[in-house]
Amino acid sequence: MSEADILIVGSGPAGCTAAIYAVRAGFKTLVLNGEAHGGQLVRTHELENFPGFILPLSGYEVMEAMHKQCARLGVQFAAETVVKIEEHAKPFVVHCEGGRQITARAVIVASGSAQMWLGLESEKQFFGRGVSTCATCDGFFYRGKTVCVVGGGNKAFEEALFLTKFCDKVYIVHRRDAFRADKAEVDKARANPKIEFMINSVVHAINGDDKGVSSITVRDINDKSLREIALSGVFVSIGTTPQTDFLKGSSVKLTARGHVLVDAKNHTAVPGIFAAGDCADEYHNQAVIAAGAGAKAAIEAVKYLNERPGGAKQP
Ligand SMILES: Cc1cc2nc3c(=O)[nH]c(=O)nc-3n(C[C@H](O)[C@H](O)[C@H](O)COP(=O)(O)OP(=O)(O)OC[C@H]3O[C@@H](n4cnc5c(N)ncnc54)[C@H](O)[C@@H]3O)c2cc1C
């Protein structure tokens, strides 16, 4: 069985920042990546609101720098997905997909969040063949085509604006007539001649054949009328859900939406288990906030270990 002093679940901004603080306090620090090394930020083509960079960088560049910083400091990474934490064991036993078990004296959960889906059968059918959740990853394939982005938050607007670089036309389909996105993003989209808004509308069906998506059917939520729009790509951007399934049934308490319940110091209901970032924050899903929370969680984890009998800092 492998061992860590502080085991961190997730290698996004929260996990990496926690790792920097944990390893610099002298603890053997192991970060488990899960399926998305670098987390959600690697999907951002232009990160302009992370302090310290004069010009925008891609999310990938920022996360690569964080990973290199972690590695230089001695943080270890492993491509493992956590399926369960034995929270009553001391040290904790972290179970990974595939059967690997790792003991840890403290755990920081920084497992972020994942894309929410529309819930249409056709969405699964056409995923990767016209349905995408990442304009940065897939936008290039839609050069000269018509696509839609479904959603009304900042991410949806960012995706739509990015897609105008490749596509001839981008519809923004949104169920209400008001947007959660910042006014600045909405104004940019309104000023872009390639973007057309379909408000008070939901995607009723995604249509196509073996070759991929050919149209969507949109339902007007007021008069219930249906309208078919010819297009080649559907980018779903309707929000995220916390990746905390591996904690269900444990003593770590979750909110009704599945976020880890933490106190002001990022402690969970289980002493020695901390949480930070999007998985524990229902309201502010931003990289700098996740990074700050990761730092807080690690400071608390270090304090927890240093205060425990036999838990003093490693030499
Ligand atoms: C398209 C897009 C654009 C964005 N643009 C911006 C922006 O411009 N500015 C900004 O500040 N924020 C932006 N964000 C939001 C930002 O990316 C997130 O707030 C931030 O990444 C959250 O960091 P995190 O570390 O909490 O979680 P995440 O980045 O989600 O990382 C979670 C990590 O946990 C891992 N994980 C999950 N489950 C497990 C498991 N069971 N076992 C092991 N590992 C697991 C994942 O693989 C991943 O490595 C954007 C997000 C998206 C999707």
User: Which residue, among 101, 96, 104, has the nearest Cα to 80 in the 3D structure?
Assistant: 96
Give pLDDT tens digits for 38-93. 999 987 777 888 999 999 898 999 999 999 999 999 999 999 999 999 999 999 99
Q: What is the mean pLDDT of residues 129-156?
A: 92
Token pair recorded at residue 55: 């010009």
Higher pLDDT among residues 292 and 155, named by residue: 292
| Mean pLDDT in residue range 277-284 | 93
Strands 131-132 and 212-220: unpaired
Residue 2 has pLDDT above 90, yes or no: no
Instruction: State the Cα–Cα distance between residues 229 and 206, nearest whole angstrom.
Output: 10
pLDDT value at 269 more than 50: yes
**Mean pLDDT within 301-313:** 81
All structural domains of the chain with their residue ranges: 2-115+240-307, 121-236
Give residue 45's pLDDT. Answer: 74
User: What pLDDT score does 137 carry?
Assistant: 75
pLDDT > 90 fraction of the chain, expressed in percent and rounded: 85
pLDDT band at 312; cut points 50, 70, 90: low
% of the chain with per-residue pLDDT over 70:
98
CATH 3.40.640.10 fits 2-115+240-307, yes or no: no
- The answer, yes or no, to whether residue 314 has pLDDT greater than 90, is no
For tokens 């930020």, what's the residue?
41
The binding-site residues of ligand 1, defined as CB within 6 angstroms of any ligand atom, are: 9-15, 32-37, 39-41, 43-44, 47, 49-50, 81-82, 110-113, 155, 158, 243, 246, 277-279, 285-288, 290
Measured in Å, residue 291 CA sits from the centre of ligand 1 at 10
The pTM (predicted TM-score) of the whole model is: 0.83
Average pLDDT for residues 133-149, to the nearest whole number? 91
Amino acid (one-letter) located at 69: Q
pLDDT, averaged across the chain: 94
* Lowest mean pLDDT, pick from 74-88, 134-148, 246-260, 298-312: 298-312
HSE (CB half, 13 Å, CA atoms) of 92? Answer: 28
For residue 237, the one-letter residue type is S
Averaged pLDDT, 166-184: 95
| Residue 138 predicted with pLDDT over 90 | no
Given the residues 5, 70, 138, 167, select the one marked as catalytic. Answer: 138
Which token pair is 135? 């304009």
pLDDT, one tens digit per residue, over 217-236 is: 999 999 999 999 999 999 99
> Model confidence over 15-48: pLDDT tens digits?
999 999 999 999 999 999 999 899 999 877 778 8
Q: Which of 100, 111, 235 to mutate to test the pocket of ligand 1 (most atoms within 8 A of CB)?
A: 111
Kindly report the number of other CB atoms within 10 A of residue 176's CB atom.
Answer: 11
From residue 127, how far is each of 44, 209, 236, 266, 315 by CA, in Å?
20, 13, 10, 36, 50
Fold of 121-236: FAD/NAD(P)-binding domain (3.50.50)
Give, in order, the Cα–Cα distances in Å from 32 to each of 100, 101, 176, 278.
Answer: 12, 12, 39, 16
**What amino acid occupies position 294?**
G
Tell me what pLDDT residue 315 has: 41
CA-nearest of 153, 196, 201, 6 to 91 is 6
Find where tokens 């959960």 sit: 109
Q: Is the dihedral of CA 245, 248, 251, 257 positive or negative?
A: positive
- pLDDT value for 49: 85
CA distances from 33 to 13, 81, 226, 276 (A): 12, 7, 43, 15
Task: Using alpha carbons, select from 138, 133, 152, 161 the residue that is nearest to residue 235.
Answer: 133
Cβ(24)–Cβ(5) below 8 Å: no
Q: Please give the pLDDT value at position 206.
A: 97
CB 207 within 8 A of CB 218: no
Pairing between strand 92-96 and 82-86?
A: antiparallel
